[in-house]
Structure 1
Amino acid sequence: MALIFPVIIAISVLFLFELFKKFRKIQKVNYYGSKIPGPPANYVMGNMSMLQNESSHGLIKMFMEEAKRERERGSTVMRFMLPGKILAFPLTGKTVSKILESTTEIDKGEDYDFFKPWLGGGLLLSIGERWKAHRKMITPTFHFAKLEGYFDVFNQEAKIFVECLEKFSESGETVNLHPYINRCTLDIICETAMGTKVNAQFNHKHPYLEAVEGYTSMMLEYAYSPLMWNPFLFWLLGHKKRQDFLLYTLKKFTGDIIAERKAAIESGEVEKSNSKRNMNFLDLILSQKETNVLSEEDLRSEVDTFMFGGHDTTTTSASWTCWNLAHNPDVQEKVYEELVEVCGDDPNGDITYEQANKLQYLDRVLRESKRLIAPVPSVERQLQNDMEIDGYTIPAGSNVSIAPMVLHSNHLVFKNPEVFDPDRFLPEECSKRHPYDFVPFSAGIKNCIGQKFSILNEKVIISHLVRNYRIEPKLKFNETLPCFEAVAKPSKGIPVKLTKRV
């Protein structure tokens, strides 16, 4: 009994100490946050009520509207405040360059901790020497000579995609293109990067795709729900069980692919190459594993990172491109005319690497679609040290958002930013802007390593679709909206009517 009181006192002291630390943190956040432009904030909860009361797609609209309001006041940076934390948004290409060009502030931060059980120490989340080593190892996978070799798969799977849609053109029934594109890009990434066919286009309830969607949605829920930050409450409310189930599905899928490829190599079914340029992504990192560069966990993390990054962003980008084409029939016809001119009038003919690079108008269409709706709305860096951006001090521990959704809607750079206009990306127009006013694949040393792969993949998919069908929307443009998640998936899909070209 005599020990009870000392224990109670010790627990009370620890509790008060933690409370004091949190209070000091809130004091610091309010001191710096009050000096940075942004919406009025509660002393303790900051702007949490604004964020929690918005839907996923409503968050993007809110961030863009606040950014416009601050730009009209002459601000080049804005902030939102969360309990004990600042979220800062550079509003121009010039101000975002401070974080993009930093060689030291590259930590994704604690908001990405939710991804760590899935993507671990893969290229997306790693930093420092580990990141440099992994980036160097993976770079040969995206050499232009290898990209050219992927075109057989790009064309083969794009044709299957077109065939899967034929029944809708015959019946006139509305089709949501998003899941069809999603399955197509998964088949492409598995075969080009992993050397494995999974035939997702014939499996409309593929568990991996459902798990990716579930996990990325859960990440956003976690980021803006303080109750989920407490490990005990996270478990008690059933979130841990849901997370574990999704992780099991995700890891099993990639684990099975790795095991199958290993077995194929060991049995001699797949000929082993000593040239990095001749290896697919998985074979390349398996060869690194043999020289003890990668642990088993490293191997799985890199495969999971590549699987997620290689198909989900391309799916989102291609989906919004289709939506923009559907709502801009004149642009769609120009794309078709260019395809006929460059690739011929056979709707079933393959698109070659050389032809894809000649599709300059389609290239501008893809860029403008990524400007209007950024496939990745935002990525964050957590500052390890105080950083000054255009005269404002962002304290260490804050998150700085590299937000294409905000940068691309800058009405001071892109006149009438809500209008779809591919000619914004004519060379003479691009030269008038700061290089970082348009950053769909981020920029600087941590730019997207697979951006060329994604662009070519998307070009082939869109080319086959437009050569075979006219696309008409079945909802108004803003009746399906981008969601504020890891990728900006459409809230109501991409519902269209397809008419066979004759």
Structure 2
Amino acid sequence: MSAILVSAVITFVVLIITQLLIKLLRVKYAYKGFPEPLENKHWVLGHLPIFSGKINTQTIIAKFLEWTAKYPKIFVLWFGPFDPKVVLNHPDIIKKVLKTADPKPVGFGLAYRYGLPWLGEGLLIAGGAKWKRSRRLLTPAFHFDILKPYVKIYKSCADILARNIEISGEKNESVEIVSLVSACTLDIILLCAFSYKTDCQNICGTTHPYIKAVNEIAATWNLRNRTPWLYPDLIFYRTTEGKSFKAKCDYVHQVAEDVIDKRCNTLESQDISSQRYLDFLDILLTAKDEDGKGMSKEDIRNEVDTFMFGGHDTTASAISWILYSLAENPEYQRKCQEEIDKVISETKSGQLEWKDLGRLEYLTQCIKEGMRLHSPVPGIMREIQAPIKVEDLEIPAKANVMISIISLHHNPTVWGEDHDQFKPERFSPENTEERDSFAFCPFSAGPRFSQVQVSPDVRGYVCCLYTAEWSQNCIGQSFAMSEERTVLATLLQKFTFSVDKTHKVEKQISAVMRARDGIKLFAYKR
């Protein structure tokens, strides 16, 4: 009997080993000939050790830029013997993915799976029909006619930010700018998208609990993605990090539910039919398909969580890094201030309005160059559904591709050997005319519907029709750009910034590009 058992066990082990060998051979054959950094590759673990444990983000960024210089279109990184990630870093290849509706990878061990407990299947993570439905229902909330009145909110929140910077800098000491800007952008998204008033900018000397929770959740998500032994929920949620992650997710979910409940009570108690436009949350709560089906309570919370994160964190990162670059380059800062002073002096009210934002051309060039240089969203991933031909190579269907935005934005074959320098003139009209539109994808998150017609529906609200055309534009891109221009113009009109050279500024890759210990600037009143 024991001999039969031993024989059965041996047979089982041999079968498992045979299956693994077959899988290994298939994977290796599928990626035969793909360029890969061999000098940094472990014979079993592949490139995983580079990303595991307590990593230095600056080192990782330097590695990606080194690999991009060597392999300027495509290369493969191995996260163990069976898990290749195809890294794309050139617009010619990236556009082939971003023009599709390919989903985000959410399978076991894949990048977006471990963000689901936080964001659920909101627009950031959802794919397929669910993504298309949500996108179709939510796009009217970001129409230009709805965005125009938001400039007053941007300005009022930016004025509070300016006051906080002035108070923080009264002792002639440098100001940690990231925490203040983050509170401002949180204030803006809560007011604009959810009609929700808070005192989130009035917590002097501390980081708002919501912002702190989001930062810690994003950091743990990043840690889990590069730590294979934390992939199983059974293990992860028994660790200190897992328990903290769950507690922080419960907290941000509660904040989202409070926002939703308050707006629901308002909708029940007030007649909003006189409103010309509905805000983002109103549309979430009232939107219905052709068959009259609305969004579930869970779907609504997922979208609120997604937009509370995406609507404040990426923008805060962008504004903070742009201010840092302008502080490093006083000549560009002065040109922005001259333009801002001129535009504001020519307004009747002495205040920026929607129609004035388009006149801030040089500031816009600096904003785009700052987002290129610092890449607020370092990268995104897709699971391609059909093979993609790249010269004499073919990326197989179901492959996980990493669109390395930071590599794209620092690709010397696209941006030149001076890609690491802050040069706003890269985005002047004459320099952008011939450049591939996919060379610059600061907030890229995949395919987007193209709006072709806008008209009021029977209640007077905005109703939009769409074609099936795809583009790389983010749903909130216009919101973010108008917000960044308004906030930066407000600050640069009031202050001149310079870098605190005693404080080391170091990039930290998370869900967005952060500064490990913040960014400290001196702010001098003009």
Q: CA deviation at 1:464?
A: 0.9
Contact 1:289 1:295 in 2 (8 A): no
Contact 2:281 2:304 in 1 (8 A): yes
Corresponding position: 1:29 with 2:55: no
Counterpart-to-counterpart distance in 2, 1:6 and 1:127: 49
**In the TM superposition, what whole-angstrom CA distance separates every residue of 1:102-155 from its partner, at most 9, and x where no partner exists?**
24x233443101111121121111122221111111111111111101111101
**RMSD of aligned residue pairs (Cα, Å):** 2.6
**In the TM superposition, what whole-angstrom CA distance separates every residue of 1:384-440 from its partner, at most 9, and x where no partner exists?**
444332322223443212222001111122121111111111111112222211111
Counterpart-to-counterpart distance in 2, 1:313 and 1:232: 31
- SS of the residue corresponding to residue 79 of structure 1 reads strand
Of 350-359 and 314-323, the range deviating more from structure 2: 350-359
- SS of the residue corresponding to residue 76 of structure 2 reads strand
Counterpart-to-counterpart distance in 1, 2:10 and 2:264: 55
Map of 1:242 onto structure 2: 244
User: Bigger relative contact order, structure 1 or 2, given CA contacts below 8 A and separation 6+?
Assistant: 1
Q: 1:218 aligns with which of 217, 220, 227?
A: 220
Map of 1:464 onto structure 2: 490
Where does 1:46-445 land on structure 2 (aligned, <5 Å)?
Answer: 46-52=46-52, 54-71=55-72, 76-83=73-80, 84-103=82-101, 105-109=102-106, 110-203=110-203, 204-268=206-270, 271-273=271-273, 278-288=277-287, 291-344=292-345, 349-415=350-416, 416-442=418-444, 444-445=447-448
Contact 2:85 2:399 in 1 (8 A): yes
One-letter amino acid of the counterpart of residue 214, structure 2: V
Residues 15 and 396 (structure 1 numbering): CA distance in 2 closer, same or farther, change over 3 Å? Answer: farther
Where does 1:478-489 land on structure 2 (aligned, <5 Å)?
Answer: 479-489=504-514
Q: CA deviation at 1:475?
A: 2.9
Residues 345 and 233 (structure 1 numbering): CA distance in 2 closer, same or farther, change over 3 Å? Answer: same
Map of 2:456 onto structure 1: none
- SS of the residue corresponding to residue 483 of structure 1 reads strand
- SS of the residue corresponding to residue 201 of structure 1 reads coil
**In the TM superposition, what whole-angstrom CA distance separates every residue of 1:173-210 from its partner, at most 9, and x where no partner exists?**
11110000000000000000001012210123422111
- SS of the residue corresponding to residue 388 of structure 1 reads strand
Counterpart-to-counterpart distance in 1, 2:162 and 2:182: 13
Counterpart-to-counterpart distance in 2, 1:174 and 1:376: 27
Which has the larger share of strand? 2
Counterpart-to-counterpart distance in 2, 1:336 and 1:5: 85
Counterpart-to-counterpart distance in 1, 2:518 and 2:253: 27
Counterpart-to-counterpart distance in 1, 2:233 and 2:24: 21
- SS of the residue corresponding to residue 441 of structure 1 reads coil
Residues 167 and 31 (structure 1 numbering): CA distance in 2 closer, same or farther, change over 3 Å? Answer: same
Q: CA deviation at 1:33?
A: 3.5
**In the TM superposition, what whole-angstrom CA distance separates every residue of 1:287-321 from its partner, at most 9, and x where no partner exists?**
12795321111111111111111111100000100
Corresponding position: 1:490 with 2:515: yes
* 5+ residue gaps, structure 1: none
Counterpart-to-counterpart distance in 2, 1:9 and 1:206: 62
Map of 2:460 onto structure 1: none
Counterpart-to-counterpart distance in 2, 1:35 and 1:476: 47
- SS of the residue corresponding to residue 439 of structure 1 reads coil
Counterpart-to-counterpart distance in 1, 2:7 and 2:511: 44
Map of 1:449 onto structure 2: 475
Of 365-374 and 44-53, the range deviating more from structure 2: 44-53
One-letter amino acid of the counterpart of residue 180, structure 1: L
- TM-score for both structures, normalised by structure 1: 0.91
Contact 2:154 2:487 in 1 (8 A): yes
Counterpart-to-counterpart distance in 1, 2:118 and 2:177: 27
Contact 1:376 1:404 in 2 (8 A): yes
Residues 17 and 130 (structure 1 numbering): CA distance in 2 closer, same or farther, change over 3 Å? Answer: farther
Residues 295 and 476 (structure 1 numbering): CA distance in 2 closer, same or farther, change over 3 Å? Answer: same
Contact 1:46 1:80 in 2 (8 A): yes
- SS of the residue corresponding to residue 370 of structure 1 reads helix
One-letter amino acid of the counterpart of residue 474, structure 1: D
Contact 2:169 2:175 in 1 (8 A): no
Residues 335 and 395 (structure 1 numbering): CA distance in 2 closer, same or farther, change over 3 Å? Answer: same
Counterpart-to-counterpart distance in 1, 2:278 and 2:10: 60
Counterpart-to-counterpart distance in 1, 2:51 and 2:133: 38
Counterpart-to-counterpart distance in 2, 1:7 and 1:140: 65
Counterpart-to-counterpart distance in 2, 1:491 and 1:149: 35
Contact 1:92 1:407 in 2 (8 A): yes
Of 389-398 and 302-311, the range deviating more from structure 2: 389-398
**In the TM superposition, what whole-angstrom CA distance separates every residue of 1:309-336 from its partner, at most 9, and x where no partner exists?**
1111100000100000100000000000
* 5+ residue gaps, structure 2: 449-471
One-letter amino acid of the counterpart of residue 455, structure 1: M
Residues 264 and 169 (structure 1 numbering): CA distance in 2 closer, same or farther, change over 3 Å? Answer: same
- SS of the residue corresponding to residue 325 of structure 1 reads helix
Counterpart-to-counterpart distance in 2, 1:154 and 1:14: 64
Counterpart-to-counterpart distance in 2, 1:240 and 1:8: 39
One-letter amino acid of the counterpart of residue 151, structure 2: F
One-letter amino acid of the counterpart of residue 158, structure 2: A
Q: CA deviation at 1:32?
A: 3.3
- TM-score for both structures, normalised by structure 2: 0.87
- SS of the residue corresponding to residue 498 of structure 1 reads strand
Q: How many residues are treated as equivalent by the alignment? A: 489
Of 465-474 and 6-15, the range deviating more from structure 2: 6-15
